[in-house]
Structure 1
Amino acid sequence: MTERKRGDIPRAQRLAQDAAEAADVRRWRTHPDVVALQVERVRSQVDRLCWAGIILGLAFTAANVQWFAAAGSAFGSLPWLTAWFLDPTVCLVLLGILRAEQVTARYQVRTGRWVRAAKWLTLGATYVMNTWSSWAAGSPAGVVLHSVPPMVVFVAAEAVTDLRDKLTDAVQAALVKATDVHEPVTPDRERPARRMFADYLADARHAWTPAVKVTPAWVREVTGCSRGLSSRLAAELSAETREAASHGR
């Protein structure tokens, strides 16, 4: 029997086939793993662009800081040469902080006040050394020219951390909205049983005892849920246990 051409299939069946195909595509596009992969690609692009801008901005400031530190020393003299070390000293500390925040923001681990203070101090020092001569000379154009690169670096250094944090939120939101554990369905494999958020929460409730500190790691251990879902489950269970304790139950 020859295969029927699409034009020979009744319109209602064609629409049904299109609907089934669209539903399958949508199911995979909203699959948490697919969303996570897409977010990782965007995260890599964001990192590359921001790092390129930050490094170029710091490279621009290096010459200005060297000129500021050299303070008119003769070309090639020892003070002139050592002046080149000032900007890298500040920039390497800043880049080290930003590199660490690249990891902490990915896993939404908050850094302390000293980290933020060190970042602002290095950025502030770079700005002051770049613009001091222009301020002293009373040159508005020079102030603007030498202010733009440090300010771009400052804004990018702050924004990139928040962007990484929100990208992680996007992955977790996709995972939380998934109402079942998605796995490919093949002819020789049945669709897995659906597990809702409430099912995982019930498992965590059953395993919890007053001696247990509720953490995402503990929730993952007792329920087998994903890393992204464990944070929400831990927060929900913690709220329940606190409320129960307040009522003396």
Structure 2
Amino acid sequence: MTDSPPSYPPAKHILRSLRYEVEHRPDFTSTASMEAGPHLRSASGHVEIGALATLADATAGGLAALAASPGWIATSDLTLHLAGPVSARRVIAHGRVLRRGKSKIVLAVDLESDQGSPLGIATMSFSVLPRRDGNPIMVSSSEATTHSFLPSDGHLDEPAAEGHIHEAIGLSMIADVVGGVETDMTEYVVNTLGAMQGGAVATLGAQSASSAVQASTGSNEFFECMDLVITYLSLGKVGPIRASAVVTQVS
């Protein structure tokens, strides 16, 4: 006899900060959403690309888990291209499975505003893994299923009361390292495998790149990341987890 899988996500978690809600359909498509409150925005007022990557990763990950059932999955790579800075208060994600193989599942996620304006597109692949006792149970259904990951601290309708996503993750700068940023491993960023959630990794990488560009130009301007291409080499389970960057060209 095995214990029931633990509840996921924990009470304080990056998905709850997004007020993440999703509907998965039996044709392996889904629609999800996030509320882009002040805690998910940069100094310029635009939505952090790390938050958008978290939305895309969670949407695709849920679909991939259904497609891989009874197995489980881990993100192999994530690519996100934005059409421009995102100002929408609510972002919608439409996910679909492009390829469903025995060892890998490939998906695409289209991002749009709640008014229907296109914001960006993400593509991801997931490795299919043997199921472990601690993995959540995801079972395909002949009907649509919905899930809501909302705050559990009384701030359901008060996004302004939440700390910024960088503070919640615990992101801090590393002195004397170009684009050096780091964070500890906490429940806030954990995924179903006990490692850092893919969107949190993206947030770390995006901040590293933006800091490196600002340092290399010596400018007081604010630089925002518009594209992400991430390959996940291994599971980050022990902190601190660090990122650094190399600026190859400024034009």
Q: Report which structure shows greater RCO (CA 8 Å, sep ≥6).
A: 2
TM bracket (short chain): under 0.3
TM-score (norm 1): 0.24
Between structures 1 and 2, the one with greater helix share: 1
Greater strand proportion: 2
